[in-house]
Structure 1
Amino acid sequence: MSTPTIGVFALQGDVREHVRLLAELGVDAVAVRRPGELERCHAFVIPGGESTTMYKLARTFELFDPLQARIRAGMPTFGTCAGMIMLADRVQGGTADQETLGGLDITVRRNAFGRQVDSFEGELDFEGLPDRVRAIFIRAPWVESLGEGVEVLARVEAGEAAGRIVAVREGHVLATSFHPEVGGDDRIHRYFVDMVTTA
């Protein structure tokens, strides 16, 4: 694949940061709000935001079902923070009617690190990257449990949450609890682009 088109879920969340970072990596990055826009995408990013609002808007704009179908069919997909929740097969701490797109055999806990005031930054080892990653957590989830086919890419290393899983990959689906689009480090997005171009 020469220049892939990577869509970014644009109904809610940190859309511009992802579009900018992907464009800087040389891909065709497009904001996606409608099924027709999804059709031209080779891969997809679901940003941080508010997961309950995201699935409701995806339903309203008739994007939920076609996006879910594309993920199930193998489209490379990357979710950050709320995007991780949207890609999880199971959610703890969600609303009674919470829906997810699925694709990752994981259980995530919403707002696991606490409220907005409990947001923090830390450095992590990220599997496959030689240098540590500066991770920014904002009302972030963590992975409570995972299936056998899920690879753990990063864990919190210090504090009360030490050992908690905050980055995973299962085949064509990648997710982080933190926000790699914030802070100027493009390596995790580059990792995803490599997933797309070698798929």
Structure 2
Amino acid sequence: MSTPVIGVLALQGDVREHLAALAESGASAHPVRRAGELAEIDGLVIPGGESTTMSKLAITFGLLEPLRERIRGGLPTYGTCAGMIMLADKLLDGRDDQETLGGIDMIVRRNAYGRQNESFEAAVDFTGIQGGEVEGVFIRAPWVESVGGDVEVLATHEDHIVAVRQGHVLATSFHPELTGDHRVHRLFVDTVRNGG
């Protein structure tokens, strides 16, 4: 497929920035708010935002189970920040009623880097991306505490795992969509184009 159709889960969070980054990376990008729209996409981005709010809205809009089914069924999916939390099989410091979609055999610590005023930017060496380090924007960011044997660690920051991939599912604890550097999005678009 020359121009993959990639949806951005548009319940809450930085949807517009991902739509723009995907379009600039060679995809046809569309917001996804309804379960029926999942059948029309070749890949999905779960943006940063507030993971507990996203979880509740996914339940309210009847998207939780359809999302889980599509991800389990092989839909290439990329989550940033809150999206990483949503893709975790297990959470630390999550709310008791918080649901995740799963998809990556990892344990994620929510808000691991602290509050909003402790947000920062840092250069990250990212496996599989050419052209030098990627600028990571960390906003109330999670990190990965541990991964299963099938998970590939793509990037770390100060000994914490901040980017991972398991099969067709990719996650970063930072926000590449906020930097103008679309190499991570291009990596994901290429993954979708190549069928996961």
Do these two structures clear the TM 0.5 threshold for a shared fold by scoring above it? Answer: yes
Q: Which residue of 2 aligns with 1:191?
A: 187
**TM-score of the pair, normalised by structure 2:** 0.97
Could you tell me the TM-score, scaled by structure 1's length?
0.96
Distance 2:72 2:3 in 1: 23
Identity across the alignment (%): 65
Contact 2:26 2:189 in 1 (8 A): no
- Number of residue pairs the alignment of both structures matches: 194
Question: In structure 2, what is the equivalent of residue 81 of structure 1?
Answer: 81
CA root-mean-square deviation: 0.7
- Aligned match of 2:115: 115
Aligned to 2:19: 19
Q: For the residues of structure 2 that align with 1:198 and 1:49, how far apart are their CA atoms?
A: 28
SS state at 1:30 partner: strand
Deviation readout 1:9-46 (Å, 9 max, x if unpaired): 00100000000111112211000000111110110000
Q: Output aligned runs, 1:30-179, within 5 Å.
A: 30-130=30-130, 131-156=132-157, 162-179=158-175
**Cα deviation, residue 128, structure 1:** 1.1
Which residues of structure 2 form unaligned runs of 5+? none
Structure with more relative contact order (C-alpha pairs < 8 Å, separation 6 or more): 2
Counterpart Cα distance in 1 of 2:55 and 2:39: 19
Matched letter for residue 28 of structure 1: S
Amino acid paired to 1:185: D
**Amino acid of the structure 1 residue aligned with 2:5:** T
